[in-house]
Amino acid sequence: MEFSSGRARLKQGRLAGDRRELYPHSLQFYLEPPTESISLVEFESFAIDRLKLLKVVENLGVSHVRGSDTYKTKLESELRKLKFPYKALAEDDYEARRKDHISHFILRLAYCQSEELRRWFLQQEMDLLRYRFNELTDGLRQKFLEHVNLSFEAISEDLKSELANELCASTPGLGMIKVKEQMFYKVGLADAVDLFRARRVFIKDGFAYVPLKEIDAIVLNNYRTKLSKALALTARSLPSVQSDERLQPLLNHLSHSYVGPDYSVQKNTGKISLEQIDALSVKSYPLCMRQLHKALRDNHHLRHGGRMQYGLFLKGIGLTLEQALEFWKKEFIRGKVDADKFDKGYAYSIRHSYGKEGKRTDYTPYSCMKIIMSNPPSQGDYHGCPFRHSDPELLKQKLQSYKIPPSGITQILELVKGMHYQLACQKYFELTHDVDDIGFSLNHPNQYFAESQRLLSGGRELKKELSNSGNSQQKSNSQESMNSSSTPTSSNTTADAELEGLEAYFTED
């Protein structure tokens, strides 16, 4: 994005009255960055409005079924309130489209800085686009598809009737009659990744047969690929933007204010002794970490996914590298691993996750979103989110054994059923800490731990730290908090794949 030049060109454009050409559709893939100059005030207000919008998108997605009527109504009123394009039919909404365009690009700058931020931004932008695309009329949808080069050819009626049985069996929610009515498109797998992954379409000979009603998945898939690439590129060119002292604090603040802290800055390093861990795991661990801790104690081993999830959590609650090495080693050598094998095979990756090996990236503890969305546990794994990845029956037993009252268990299971895993965890927190409303939204295991410690220790010493970093998400974007929380953690930009460390690159067999 340019902040100096381009004004003249744009002004000319405006005067000539071809605003519409600039934004032919209410929807776009944000392929071209804006080139006009804007004032810092506008810059900031656009950015904050979009953040508000994305935050609403996130909250609605947590508490409502996406695409349900309440979800739609609430999102629409928000778009209207914040003056973003809300109805595609409104022809002359140049200002709204411009705001949509510019604010998206500002947030890109703020949210390209770490993998966690990118993930959050991507998710919300996808949800927003999904909503907006589905609100389009058929005609506009077709126009938009052509505009972004995604028009596919429908398969012939002959082929369709030949494949009718398989199409019907492959496409949930489509009966035989509907199959006959719908158009089907033959789409390369790369364009239909999500439908392919979830087995929601018929796959044959390397092609997906996608019904018209699922075409939004293809649009979203395409958008995600583009946006994710763009974010990676933006991250690379970030240093030049960051050198602008007017923007740098603002961008940093923007990224911190809504996702919350990433818990990589260790304020409490060294404040926990290894002897405390067992007790802490019962009192202050979220269920996922408690499960990992127990599995580790029982089996004297954890597989890679578990070591990463738990190890980084421990780092986040303040274990030093030396403590971590001691902790893992003590436990592992009680099992099948001898000291020598530990030093050779496992110590490296622990040092690696503390940024002492390889690329020397200081890895951040996993957030709830990451735990829920990526790398689900498989055979022999204990990581993941217990609310997301356990059988409800087992979860129930576990909660019973942890003395959660039956009414609470019912509530939790109800939330799990509605796929509100974080809310279920929040409920678990409330029940185990005997509070009615925790007054924050839970999105990180380390946040859980910190809040728990704060409550249990009477909220004295930890409170200060947390109100600086921990709860800033609740605050408005006032100028003063902007200056206080500008510790950049841009070292986390390396792709997630790096994080698996050397060891994960080798397959044990």
- Indicate which single residue of 225, 273, 467, 479 sits in contact with other proteins (rule: CB under 8 A): 225
Q: Is 476 in the site for other proteins (CB under 8 A)?
A: no
Interacting residues with other proteins between 393 and 422 (CB under 8 A): 393-395
Q: Tokens for 469?
A: 């970093």
Phi, psi (rounded to 5 degrees) for 208 = -105, 140
Three-state secondary structure call for residue 103: helix
Where is the binding site, in residues? 288, 368, 385, 425
Q: Is 188 in the site for other proteins (CB under 8 A)?
A: yes
Stretch that binds other proteins, among 147-155, 392-400, 409-417, 458-466 (CB under 8 A): 392-400
Three-state secondary structure call for residue 3: coil
Nearer to other proteins, 2 or 298 (CB): 298
Q: Are 369 and 443 in contact (CB under 8 A)?
A: yes
What is the maximum alpha-carbon separation in the chain?
A: 77
Please state whether 282 falls in left (phi above 0), alpha (psi between -120 and 50) or beta. alpha
Measured between alpha carbons, how far is 176 from 350 in angstroms, rounded to an integer? 55
- The distance of closest approach from Cβ of residue 152 to other proteins in the complex, given in angstroms and rounded to an integer, is 12
Nearer to other proteins, 20 or 236 (CB): 236
- The distance of closest approach from Cβ of residue 497 to other proteins in the complex, given in angstroms and rounded to an integer, is 6
- The distance of closest approach from Cβ of residue 344 to other proteins in the complex, given in angstroms and rounded to an integer, is 6
Nearer to other proteins, 83 or 229 (CB): 229
Measured between alpha carbons, how far is 117 from 102 in angstroms, rounded to an integer? 19
- Indicate which single residue of 21, 149, 458, 506 sits in contact with other proteins (rule: CB under 8 A): 506
- The distance of closest approach from Cβ of residue 340 to other proteins in the complex, given in angstroms and rounded to an integer, is 10
Count of residues of this chain found to bind other proteins when the rule CB under 8 A is applied: 55
204's enclosing H/E stretch is strand 202-204
Q: Is 263 in the site for other proteins (CB under 8 A)?
A: no
- The distance of closest approach from Cβ of residue 190 to other proteins in the complex, given in angstroms and rounded to an integer, is 6
Q: Is 213 in the site for other proteins (CB under 8 A)?
A: no
Interacting residues with other proteins between 193 and 212 (CB under 8 A): 193-194, 196-199, 202-207
Q: Are 26 and 19 in contact (CB under 8 A)?
A: no
Which x/- pattern over 270-309 shows residues binding other proteins (rule: CB under 8 A)?
---------------------x---x--------x-----
CA dihedral (444, 448, 450, 454) positive or negative = positive
Residue showing tokens 């709204």 = 96
CA dihedral (456, 458, 461, 466) positive or negative = positive
Residues composing the chain: 509
Task: Name residues whose C-beta falls within 8 Å of residue 375's C-beta, 6 or more positions apart in sequence.
Answer: 305, 383, 384
Stretch that binds other proteins, among 44-52, 402-410, 440-448, 496-504 (CB under 8 A): 496-504
- The distance of closest approach from Cβ of residue 121 to other proteins in the complex, given in angstroms and rounded to an integer, is 17
Stretch that binds other proteins, among 67-75, 183-191, 255-263, 269-277 (CB under 8 A): 183-191
254, with CB counted inside 10 A (0-12, 13-18, 19+), is buried
Q: Is 378 in the site for other proteins (CB under 8 A)?
A: yes
- The distance of closest approach from Cβ of residue 246 to other proteins in the complex, given in angstroms and rounded to an integer, is 27
Q: Are 172 and 200 in contact (CB under 8 A)?
A: yes
Q: Are 392 and 384 in contact (CB under 8 A)?
A: no
Tally Cβ neighbours within 10 Å of residue 181. 10
Nearer to other proteins, 53 or 395 (CB): 395
DSSP letters, 394-441, are: HHHHHHHHTT--HHHHHHHHHHHHTT-HHHHHHHHHHHHHT-S--SS-
Stretch that binds other proteins, among 88-96, 408-416, 448-456, 494-502 (CB under 8 A): 494-502
- The distance of closest approach from Cβ of residue 459 to other proteins in the complex, given in angstroms and rounded to an integer, is 33
Tally Cβ neighbours within 10 Å of residue 55. 16
Measured between alpha carbons, how far is 225 from 189 in angstroms, rounded to an integer? 13
Q: Is 357 in the site for other proteins (CB under 8 A)?
A: no
- The distance of closest approach from Cβ of residue 204 to other proteins in the complex, given in angstroms and rounded to an integer, is 6
- Indicate which single residue of 189, 233, 282, 419 sits in contact with other proteins (rule: CB under 8 A): 189
506, with CB counted inside 10 A (0-12, 13-18, 19+), is exposed
Where is the binding site for [4Fe-4S] cluster, in residues? 288, 368, 385, 425
- Indicate which single residue of 236, 297, 356, 475 sits in contact with other proteins (rule: CB under 8 A): 236
Interacting residues with other proteins between 123 and 182 (CB under 8 A): 166, 168-172
- The distance of closest approach from Cβ of residue 199 to other proteins in the complex, given in angstroms and rounded to an integer, is 5
208's enclosing H/E stretch is strand 207-211
Nearer to other proteins, 193 or 369 (CB): 193
Q: Tokens for 66?
A: 């996406």
| Interface residue list for other proteins (CB under 8 A) | 166, 168-172, 188-190, 193-194, 196-199, 202-207, 225, 236, 291, 295, 304, 344-345, 359, 375-384, 386, 389-391, 393-395, 497, 500, 502, 504-509
